[in-house]
């Protein structure tokens, strides 16, 4: 810094000899300093001088050239017109303060630049100190009221001490405002992460999503690791994000020690190049979220700890969801066993049916069909829900259900009641839940005997009025039933079954579902 002023004076001389004020004319008068403890450079404060008087630039650098604030030096950028200033502002988004003249290429060029910064650029953080040599051209009271500036100085009254004081005040204000803005943005990222994590329905997805969001939470975070207690008091990495290729196989000793300690006492810990916070759930072992990189600012710490608090709640909710899902699965299997008890052919049939229904749904999803109805949940649910398609047979007399041979008209009427019986049983059981195995099972039970042309039962629905799950299961159910023996019929061969599917496409079955199923069978080499 000792030669900062002389470099500035030489630069001014060179500028006067060349075309005045090129846009790229950026003067640096303070090199970045090195923090001996951390081995890192403190970034300088960027101050933009905007004035058409070259002497003003030189004097400003003489007065402020060796200035430091919060152990950070200053770096000057020079512009001689408002147009040049606009270019520099666009190229250097981290400018903290502007020392701005009013009268330059036009009488109000500086004031127009203020409007551009605040309104067009939307930059409310940069501190603007207006300096004018013609106070009558821009009266202080009017300018302060009409323009979003932070200080007003007449050049005639601007002593070296006043310039220094105004600049320090501007930098301190900028520091506070940017810290508040970083905090606001960090809180937004935490809340967005919490919303994202709340939508995940598997532990592996949740943990991967958590480290992904954590690695993007803090500016200087390079790597995020989610750790649990390992055997013998060690640390096990459960999920990771942002792992650089040169990261050692073992954690840095200090980070590993802090992770182990945090898992033990639940307290966050911060080092020179890492931070650790803890997720404590209600009924799960604690987990430690470790960020590597840094250096981390003091106001980074509450953000990581808040993310862990939100994530811990999310993990608890995920565990409750898993338990609810497990309970539903157990209920489905119990009801399926009940139907199997009544009908000895049901067991293997429902297993095959579930596999075919899932394959059809995923094929339709991949094709983009039924985009308003088909999603990952549908594809994940239909296989198990299809187990319940004939659960209503528990209400059918054994004499009809087990009759060897074809049913007469009266018996068929009774048999057809199983669709309505199954739907009623499952709707009562699901308790109004519209996104579960039982609710989809109810749709399937009462609609898989409907026909696309409206000639089916129990309600005579047609086309898209038939629930999609019912249309999918209808194809898979008929396909599997025809391929295998029943008390009342022999098994068909594959060619006959496929011919029937094609013939009934558009009559019994939804053509889009048939096409998707044929594609599945072709892919699996079923002789289509």
Cite the active site residues. 393
Lateral strand order in the sheet of 45-50: 68-69, 72-79, 45-50, 95-101, 127-132, 151-154
| Cα Rg of the chain (Å, integer) | 36
Distance (Å) of CA 31 to CA 204, 378, 388, 418: 47, 60, 74, 84
DSSP H helical ranges for 138-159: 140-146
Angle, CA of 268, 273 and 279, to the nearest 5°: 25
Contact 445, 388 (CB under 8 A): yes
Bridge partners of residue 293, in order along the sequence: 221
Cα–Cα distance measured from residue 261 to residue 483, given in angstroms and rounded to the nearest whole number: 62
Bridge partners of residue 225, in order along the sequence: 240, 290
Contact 511, 451 (CB under 8 A): no
Contact 427, 420 (CB under 8 A): no
Cα–Cα distance measured from residue 384 to residue 326, given in angstroms and rounded to the nearest whole number: 12
Collapsing DSSP to helix, strand or coil, 280 comes out as coil
What are the tokens at 319?
């565990």
| Cβ contacts of 372-379, under 8 Å, gap ≥ 24 | 373/468, 374/468, 377/435, 378/440, 378/468, 378/469
Residue among 137, 158, 123, 297 at smallest CA distance from 220: 297
For the chain, the 3-state helix, strand and coil shares in percent, each to the nearest 5, are: 55, 15, 30
Cα–Cα distance measured from residue 8 to residue 5, given in angstroms and rounded to the nearest whole number: 5
């Amino acid at each position: 810094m000792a030669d900062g002023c002389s470099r500035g004076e030489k630069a001014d001389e060179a500028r006067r000899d060349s075309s005045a004020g090129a846009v790229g004319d950026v003067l640096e008068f303070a090199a970045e300093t090195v923090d001996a403890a951390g081995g890192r450079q403190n970034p300088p404060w960027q101050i933009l001088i905007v004035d058409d008087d070259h002497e003003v630039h030189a004097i400003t650098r003489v007065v402020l050239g060796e200035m430091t604030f919060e152990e950070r030096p200053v770096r000057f950028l020079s512009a001689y017109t408002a147009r040049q200033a606009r270019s520099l502002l666009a190229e250097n988004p981290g400018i903290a303060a502007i020392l701005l003249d009013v009268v330059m290429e036009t009488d109000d060029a500086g004031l127009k630049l203020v409007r551009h910064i605040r309104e067009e650029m939307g930059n409310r953080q940069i501190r603007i100190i207006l300096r004018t040599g013609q106070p009558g051209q821009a009266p202080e009271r009017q300018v302060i009221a009409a323009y979003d500036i932070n200080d007003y100085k007449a050049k005639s009254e601007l002593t070296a001490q006043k310039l220094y004081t105004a600049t320090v005040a501007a930098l301190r204000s900028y520091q506070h405002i940017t810290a508040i803005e970083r905090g606001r943005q960090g809180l937004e990222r935490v809340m967005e992460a919490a919303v994202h994590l709340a939508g995940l329905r598997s532990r592996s997805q949740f943990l991967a999503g958590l480290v992904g969001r954590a690695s993007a939470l803090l500016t200087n975070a390079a790597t995020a690791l989610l750790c649990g207690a390992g055997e013998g008091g060690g640390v096990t990495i459960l999920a990771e994000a942002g792992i650089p290729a040169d990261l050692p196989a073992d954690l840095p000793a200090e980070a590993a020690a802090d992770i182990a300690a945090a898992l033990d006492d639940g307290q966050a810990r911060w080092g020179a190049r890492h931070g650790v916070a803890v997720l404590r759930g209600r009924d799960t072992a604690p987990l430690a979220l470790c960020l590597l990189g840094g250096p981390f600012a003091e106001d980074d710490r509450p953000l990581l700890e808040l993310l862990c608090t939100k994530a811990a709640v999310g993990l608890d909710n995920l565990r409750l969801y898993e338990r609810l899902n497990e309970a539903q699965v157990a209920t489905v299997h119990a009801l399926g066993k009940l139907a199997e008890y009544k009908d000895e052919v049901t067991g293997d049939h429902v297993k095959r049916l579930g596999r075919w229904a899932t394959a059809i749904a995923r094929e339709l999803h991949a094709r983009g069909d039924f985009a308003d109805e088909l999603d990952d949940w549908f594809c994940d649910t239909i296989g198990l829900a299809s187990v319940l398609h004939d659960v209503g047979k528990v209400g059918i007399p054994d004499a009809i259900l087990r009759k060897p041979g074809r049913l007469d008209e009266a018996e068929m009427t009774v048999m057809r009641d199983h669709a309505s019986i199954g739907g009623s049983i499952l709707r009562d059981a699901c308790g109004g839940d519209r996104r579960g195995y039982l609710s989809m099972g109810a749709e399937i039970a009462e609609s898989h005997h409907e026909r696309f042309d409206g000639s089916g039962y129990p309600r005579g629905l047609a086309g898209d009025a038939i629930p999609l799950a019912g249309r999918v299961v209808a194809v898979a159910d008929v396909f599997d039933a025809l391929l295998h023996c029943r008390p009342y019929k022999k098994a068909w061969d594959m060619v006959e079954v496929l011919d029937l599917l094609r013939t009934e496409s558009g009559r019994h079955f939804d053509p889009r579902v048939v096409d998707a199923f044929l594609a599945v069978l072709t892919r699996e080499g079923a002789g289509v």
